[in-house]
Chains A and B, each alone.
Chain A
Amino acid sequence: MKVNAMLKIKKLGILFLVCAMVLSVFAGCTAKTSTEAAPTATAAATEAPAVVEGPYYSADMTAEQIVVDAASQGKVGNWGLGNEYEIQALLSKYGQDTTYLSQAFDMDGFDDDSILLASAMTYNELGLVKNSYDGGYGYGDTVSYIDMNDEGVAMLEDNIFCTKTFAEANPNTVKAFIAASMKGWAYACANPEEAAEIVYSYGSSVSSEHQAYMAGEVKKLVETDTAGNTVTVYGKMDTAAMQQTLDLAKTYIKLDDAVAADALAGFELSNIMDSTYWDAAMADGAVLGTPEKTDVTIQLKWLPQAQFMGYYVALAKGYYDEVGLNVTITPGGGDISETTAVYSGQVDFGVTWVSNLIAANAGGMDLIEVAQVFQRSGLVLVYKLND
């Protein structure tokens, strides 16, 4: 009995030792970081006063001063993957190199100061940084941001697109889909709280408070253009803003494939958009006709959230049924490529950023934008303010 007990104790001891060993491996890593953290913090504090007072930026600094300082420290962040062109245009505008840090899909990098000037969407990340609800960082008014629209480097984002072939074969379906979706957007913008709840009920990646915040911000993007003027018609394709988007895309989308690069250089607006469907769908007393295809699917660019409230509202309120469509909404997320999904015919419509559509067409797809939902850029660069 005694021997057995001894063995048990030994075994337990061994188990403990192994656990300790494993833990020490991890502890070794964290210990290193904590000892190294102190000198970097003091270094930042001693270097910073040469430019500004305190490690961050003051409210009266110009966008140029902030961009130049953050870029010189190599601390401008963006997610990349086709979301970076406006940031690169801004960096170029102020004579900086166009390299940026790869930002994760959370704001931890901004929180721990490894990114001083972080990319954020007004309706999503900016809300998480400012607000203190579940998932928020609670910075409140201690942060400020640089708006791409104010800087003249805005590129248009969320649109509705399909393939040219699909649109030509199913013109009535496209018109009906636009008309019902825009009705959904109109209702959602008039009742953002209700729209947020509808989206939340369809499955959500974020809290209901954040959905409500998002609905309010998305409303602004849908109803205000890049110059800050109010837009009264939903989904309008503003030629000037589209042209600016295309011009910036031509400059900053870098393609290794010579065939695609040549195609991109020769692009005009007619290669990426066709406003005839929207014009016909939104005209007074428009006759939509019978849809050629009634079961259609729309692929979202991201997870179910108020960014796409117009479609969820149209679905919940039966606007799609009214025009004779049976619509399925497919959420995106991660690396799901909405352009490929539409091109390959898995889905009929998609929501993407105009720049992504341009890159995809340069690669050989035949996509066309049929409505432009967001009238201004929702991308900002957020920074912390000194106390």
Chain B
Amino acid sequence: MKKIKEIVNKNSFATTVYPILFGVLIVVLWQTQILHKILGADTFTLPMPSRIFDIILANTDSIWTNVVATLIVAIGGLIVGSALGFMLGVLATFAPKWGAGGLTVIAAFNAIPIIAIAPIANNLTKDLSDNPEIRSMIAKMIVVTLTCMVPMSINVNRGMTELKPFSLDLMKSYAAENRTVFFKLRLPNSVPYIFTALRVSVPVCVISALVSEYFAEFIIGVGRQIRENIVLAQYATAWAYITVACAIGIILYIILLIAEGITLKGRK
């Protein structure tokens, strides 16, 4: 608790309170329908916050089932993708000649739209399991993995190679082995870069999980519910799931910030 308090204190008043105040302002404008007038929307396509929260409260069980399904995909893909990205980043460090080029090619993965990978991943995983729930979970995870791998590999590679001036020379003057250089210099140096990568990939993992659910064989997940409800013109319910999706993204990001604060405490 103490640690968390310190972190909160460290983040200045302005960076936490102002965003919250802004959020509250939006909700107030929304509930008082001033927002509707500004946007030219009606309460049908943009229902009141109170109605949205009523729906969330009345459907906690089914929402929770969908949230769990989305979280498994998002976090599973984030872990696998980050691990793969880390390994690629390290690999590129030890083979710098083709490493830089290789990472550029991998970075091109990020340019492939999720909506293009998702159906391909579905087809690739058709024979993996007789249970559509499992094979479509794997398909969705592949999509998240691909999108999370790229930021990690590039940032880890930078963390491993952009060292403090002369630090590598110093290690060499000690006749340090490559292993020692890796564990004592490169790895600690790359930790802040890992968090930079995670700041990109945590929101991305949620978004790609939501979008990949659109195309999955097995019908489950927050993203799928958003799509179903919008097509059925159930906007209030769709907004309820959009709110839940936002909450997932924000909570994961806050967890990341706290973890970053604890890990990097006293670094700067």
Contact = CB atoms under 8 A, between A and B. Distances in A.
Contacts of A360: 232-233
A335 B98 contact: no
A344 B43 CA distance: 12
Nearest to A83: B231
A112 interface: yes
Contact of A340 (B45, B54, B119): B45
A387 B240 CA distance: 50
Given A257-B55, A335-B227, A344-B45, A104 B215 contact: yes
Interface string B221-247: 000000111111111110010000000
Contact of B218 (A33, A40, A101, A256): A101
Nearest to A30: B124
A340 B101 contact: no
A275 interface: no
Interface in A135-161: none
Interface string B98-126: 10011001100000000000010011111
B203 to A, nearest CB: 23
Contacts of A112: 126
Interface stretch (A11-19, A192-200, A318-326): A11-19
Nearest to A367: B233
A337 interface: yes
B97 interface: yes
B230 A335 contact: yes
B62 interface: yes
Contact of A40 (B127, B216, B227): B127
A373 B122 CA distance: 36
A49 interface: no
A21 B102 contact: yes
Contacts of A102: 216-219
Nearest to A22: B105
B26 interface: no
A363 B102 CA distance: 52
Contacts of B54: 258
Nearest to B135: A114
Contacts of B169: none
Nearest to B132: A101
Interface in B12-59: 44-45, 51, 54-55, 58-59
Contacts of A29: 124, 142
B128 interface: yes
Nearest to B228: A81
A265 interface: no
Interface in B143-201: none
A36 B236 CA distance: 43
B228 A337 contact: no
A80 B228 contact: yes
Point out which of B54, B105, B126, B232 has the most chain A C-beta atoms below 10 A from its C-beta.
Answer: B232
B126 A256 contact: no
Given A74-B132, A256-B55, A335-B230, A101 B44 contact: no
A80 B102 CA distance: 41
A32 B123 CA distance: 12
Interface in A80-127: 80-82, 99-102, 104, 108-109, 112, 114
B230 A337 contact: yes
Highest count of chain B CB atoms <10 Å: which of A17, A82, A256, A339: A256
Contacts of B218: 101-102
A64 B216 CA distance: 28
A365 interface: yes
Given A36-B127, A108-B123, A256-B55, A81 B45 contact: no
B58 A33 contact: no
Contact of B101 (A14, A99, A104, A343): A14
A203 interface: no
Contact of A365 (B44, B122, B125): B44
A237 interface: no
Interface in B204-218: 215-218
A337 B227 CA distance: 11
Interface in A22-58: 22, 29-30, 32-33, 36-37, 40, 43
A356 B132 CA distance: 27
Interface string A353-385: 000100110011100000000000000000000
Contacts of B45: 340, 344
A363 B123 contact: no
A226 B132 CA distance: 34
Given A33-B126, A40-B130, A340-B45, A114 B232 contact: no
A356 B232 contact: yes
B231 A335 contact: yes
A59 interface: no
A10 B98 CA distance: 10
A255 interface: yes
Nearest to B121: A29
B127 A256 contact: no
B31 to A, nearest CB: 17
Contacts of A255: 234, 237
Contact of A33 (B44, B128, B215): B128
Nearest to A15: B101
Contact of A363 (B58, B215, B228, B235): B235
Contact of A82 (B101, B122, B123, B231): B231
A37 B124 CA distance: 11
Nearest to A82: B232
A206 interface: no
Contacts of A253: 232
A18 B98 contact: yes
5 contacts: A14-B97, A43-B130, A101-B132, A114-B132, A363-B236
Closest 4 CB pairs of A and B: A360-B233, A14-B98, A81-B231, A359-B232
